[in-house]
Amino acid sequence: MHDDIPLTIGRARRVLDERILPAVHATAVPLTVEWNELPGEPITPAEGLALAYRPYEVGTSWGAAWGTTWFHVTGTVPEQWAGRRVEALIDLGFDVNMPGFQCEGLVYRPDGSPVKSINPRNQWVLVTEQAEGGELVDLYLEGASNPVLLDYHPFLPTQEGDIQTSSSRRLYTSRRMDLTVFEAEVHELALDIEVLLELQAELPQGPRRMRILQALDDALDALDLQHIPETAPDARAALADVLASPAEASAHRISAVGHAHIDSAWLWPVRETIRKVARTTSSMTELIDQTDDFVYGMSSAQQYAWIKEHRPEVYARVKEAVAAGRFLPLGGMWVESDTVMPTGESIVRQFSQGQRFFEREFGIRPKGVWLPDSFGYSPALPQLMRRAGFEWFFTQKISWNQVNKFPHHTFLWEGIDGSRVFSHFPSMDTYNSQLSGSEVAKASRQFRENRLASGSIAPVGWGDGGGGTTREMTGKAARLADLEGSAQVAWEHPDAFFERARGELANPPVWVGELYLELHRATLTSQHGTKQGNRRAEHLLIEAELWCATAAARTGFAYPYDELDALWQQVLLQQFHDILPGTSIAWVHREAVEQYARVADALVAIIAQAVRALVGEGDTPVLVNPAPFARGGAPALGAVVAASVPQVAPVTITEDGDAHVLENDLVRITVSAEGLVTSAVDLGSGRDAIAPGQAGNLLQLHQDFPNMWDAWDVDRYYRNRVEDIRGVDELTVSTGADGVARIVVRRSFSESSIEQTLSLAPGSRTLEVAQVVDWHETEKFLKVAFPLDVRAEHTIAETQFGANKRVTHSNTSWEAAKFETSMHRYVLAEEPGFGVALVNDSIHGYDMTRDAVDGDVTTTLRLSLLRAPRFPDPETDQGVQTHRFGLVVGTSVAGATEEGVLLNLDARTVTGDHGFDPLVTVSDDLVLSSVKLADDRSGDLVVRVYEPAGRRARGTVTVAADVAAVTEVTLLEEAIVDAATTGASSTVAATDPATVDLALGGFEVRTLRFTLG
C-alpha cells in the first residue's frame, strides 16, 4: 500500500479542529446580557447579585487590570430544543493558551449558589440536562479582569503587577455569550479522534499504528461534514474496535489525580487567589457530580480556610465531596511552602497547623507531603515529615534541573539525621498534565523504576493560576483506562499509589541529602524585605511563645492561643513558594512587607505583656535574654537586673599605619583605610582567618541578567563580570560606653550608596557588620566576600535543626551546578582545629570557591545581599535595605550555631522589679528550639530540642516547675504510637519528671510534653 500517513493525520487534524469541535455547540442563540463594572475591590456574591445592571453588548471591551465586572445573562430555551442538554457558552475574550493567567469568572444562580467557573479552557456552563421548551435562563457571572503578565514574550518588565501602578484601560473584549445545544455525540467523537491521533503519534511503525490510521480514515469517510451531529454516531462506530483493543498486561499504570496547583500568590495578589480557589473548586465539585470515578486533590489548608470564610456556599459543596471520597485533601501543610529558607519551627507549624485544620474540618489527616513546585528541598525534611507522622513525599520540580537528570522516580529520600521517607516524582515531568498522548507515553518511557514498579502519578489539570481538570481530560482518561499501545490511566488517591509502590519496591533506591534544584537559585536573595520580614517574624513568634509559656507557668498569665495561631498562619502563608522566594508581583511583596510589620508589632506587644508579668512593676532596668545561650550576664531564656551584669574591659583600638586594629581578649581585627578586613587573628591559636594578601568584607557588584526567569534565576556566567567596591567616602572610628569598638564606613558606587558599621564587642570573637544600602541598581547582584585562610573540604551551612555539608570542589557536574546555595543563620568553613563562620540575620544565599594563594588552598565565602531583577516586579529591592552579618573567628559548628542564634534573638532591656530564672534549661550538647504550651490547650508544656553538630550526644532537659508527668511526643504534640513510622522513641528516661535524660543521634529532633502539676 502507498504511504498515506501524513495525509490521514492532516485530514483528521483539520476536520477535528475546523468542523467537529465547532459542531459541539453549533446550535446557538444569543443571551441577553447586562453588566456592572465595579470601581474598586471585589464584593460578596450577595452584593454582586443585588447590583443595578445596565445593558451590555457582546463585543464591548470590559475590565481594567485587577477589576471586577458583574454580568447578568438571561434567555429562554427555544421550544425546538426540548429534551436536549443545554449549556451557556461564554467567551470573555479568552486566549485558550493562557488558562489561569488571564480573565476568569465564577457563575452563580439567582439564589447565590455557585455553578462553576469559566476560563479559557472551560467556557461552558450547564443550564439543564433535559430542556423544556420556553424554560427561562437566569445566571450571574463575577468576572475578574486579571492582566496577562507572563505573555508570549515572557519576563518583560511591567507596572501592571500592582493595582497602584496598573493602567485603567480595559483589557478584554467579549466574543460570545450564547445559549447552546450540547451535542454529546459530537463531543465524544472529538475525544475519540484526539486520543487516537495522539496515541498513533507515539507508536512505532507497525500494525497497531496502521490500524488506528485506517480507522480514522474510515471514521472520516462516515462523517458528513454538513451533517456532523447526525453522522457522528456512524463515525464513532468506525473507531469502536481500535478504542476497544485492551492494553498490554505489562502496560505502565498511571494513577491520575485531578489537580490545579493554585499558587497562593504569584502573578496575582492573595485576594485574587481567594477567588481563584473558589472558582476552581466550584468547577471541580461540578465535574465530580458529572462523573463516576474522577477524584480531585487539593493541598494547602489555607486555601480551604479561605473558601470557608469568603465563599461558604462553595465550601459546603467541597465538604460534601470530601465526605464522598472524591475531593481529596492532600499534603497536610498550611500552604505549599518553600522548604529551604523557613526555620525548623516554621516547617513544624506548617505541618501542625495544616493537619489540625484538616482533622477539625474533615476528620482526615493526609498521609503524605504534597509539594510539586517548591524550589528545592531541605535535607532536614525527611526527619520532620516522619516525626509529624507522614508516610510519603511527592514533588515534581527537580525534573527542571538545568544540568543533571535526577536518577529516580520512586525512591527513599534520606535526610541529615538518617531518616528516610518514601518519595515519588511523576515520570511525565509535569504537575499540570492534560493526559496528552505525549505525556502518557513519556510517563511510561522515562519511568526509572520500570524493572520493578508498575506505575507513576499524574496530577491532571490546568494549574498555577487554577482552573483544574476539564471534562475533556476525564474523557481522555476513560479512553486510556485500557487501550492498546498506551499506559493505563485510572483516577486514584495518591495514598493507594504509594501503598502499591511500597509493595513493589522492597529495596527502593536511596537518595541521600538535599534535593537541590539546579535552577531558580536567585530565589535565595530576591525581595530582601520579604525575606527579612520572615526571619524576624519567625524569631519573634518563638520568643513570644517562650515568654507566654514561662509567664503562664509562673504567674497564671493567659496564654494567647488564638492570637498566636493567627500570627503563625499569616507568616506560614507568606512562606508560600512564590512569596518568600521573592518571585511574585510587586503587589504581593508590598502586602507581605506590610503584613510582616503588623505581625512584628503584634508580637512585640504580646512579648511586652508576658515579660511584664515576669519582671513585675518597677523602674529597675532588667536584661531579658530570649536566646537558648547565655549572654551578657543573662542566663539562657531568663533575665537579670542589668546592674548585676559584670563590667568587662572595653575593646581597644590602635592604629597601624593607615589601618585600625580592634582587639579584645579573643581576637584581633585589622581594618584597612578602605574599610576592608585585612586580618582577623584568633589569639588563642594565632591563626589568621583572612587569606594572605586578601581582604574580607569586600563588596562586589555583578551584572545579573539571566537567560530567563529574572527574579528566579542567576546563571553561572554572572561571575564573569565583577566590580570590586573599594572606594570610601568617609571612615570614622569610635568606642562606646558599652565598650564596643565601631568603625563606620560610607561608600558610593554606581547609582547606590552604603553605610557599614563594623563592631567588635568585649568578649566576642565575632566582628559584626550592620549595613544600610540605598539600592538603585538595575539587573545587578551585590555580594560581600571573605577569602579565608582555611583549607575546607566542605562548607557547613545551617538548615532546619542542623546543618548541610557541601563539598568545596566541583569535580562532577552535580557539584558544579551548586554555584549558589542556601544557608540559615550561619555558614562555616572548617579544617581540623580551626574554623571560620559567617553569621547573618536575614541572608539565605551564599557561594563558595576553592582558591589558591601562593600554592596554598583557601576558601572564599560570599554572602548574597541584593539583586535588581525587573520581572515580575520591576522595582525589586529598590530603596533602603538593611543587613546584619558577622565574621566569627576561630569557631566550630557549635560556636557558629550559638553566634547565629544570638544575632537573630536580641536581648531586651525592660524596666521592672526583678529578673527571673529560666523555666527550661538544657545541657550544653543540646540546643533548645522552642518552649510553648500545647496546641490542644491542655496547659501542658511542650519543649523541643535538637542536636546541632551531627554527632551523637547525651543531655538533660529540666523544667523548673511542678511537673506531674513527661512523655515524648510527635511534632504534632501527640503520643508516639508507632516509633518505626515516626523514627522517634516512645519513652524518655526520667526518674524525676521535671528532669529528662536524652540520648540523641546526630541532628536528631526530640519533642517533650510536660504535664504541669
Q: Which residues contact 981 (CB under 8 A, 6 or more apart)?
A: 386, 389, 391
Which residue shows C-alpha cell 508576658? 610
Distance CA 441, CA 193 (A): 17
Distance CA 441, CA 727 (A): 59
Among candidates 109, 91, 95, 114, which has minimal Cα distance to 28? Answer: 91
In the chain, the amino acid numbered 172 is Y
Per the residue annotation, which of 234, 289, 293, 373 is the catalytic one? 373
| 921 C-beta neighbours (distance < 10 Å), count | 18
Residues 125 and 108 sit within 8 Å (Cβ to Cβ): no
Active site residue 789: no
Q: What angle do CA 371, 374, 380 make, to 5 degrees?
A: 80
For the chain, report the end-to-end CA distance as a whole number of angstroms: 91
Three-class secondary structure of residue 191 per DSSP: helix
Distance CA 550, CA 530 (A): 30
Instruction: Output the DSSP codes for 394-459.
Output: E--GGGG-SS---S-SEEEEE-TTS-EEEEE--TT--SSB---HHHHHHHHHH-TTTTT--EEEEE
Residues 749 and 700 sit within 8 Å (Cβ to Cβ): no
Distance CA 669, CA 446 (A): 56
Distance CA 540, CA 534 (A): 10
Three-class secondary structure of residue 549 per DSSP: helix
Among candidates 879, 881, 868, which has minimal Cα distance to 157? Answer: 868
| 441 C-beta neighbours (distance < 10 Å), count | 20
Cell (9 digits) for 160 = 501592571
Residues 783 and 702 sit within 8 Å (Cβ to Cβ): yes
Angle, helix 561-573 to helix 301-310, in steps of 10 degrees = 110
The torsion of the CA quartet 441, 442, 445, 447, rounded to 10 degrees, works out to -130
Three-class secondary structure of residue 600 per DSSP: helix
The torsion of the CA quartet 308, 309, 313, 314, rounded to 10 degrees, works out to -50
Which residues carry out catalysis? 373
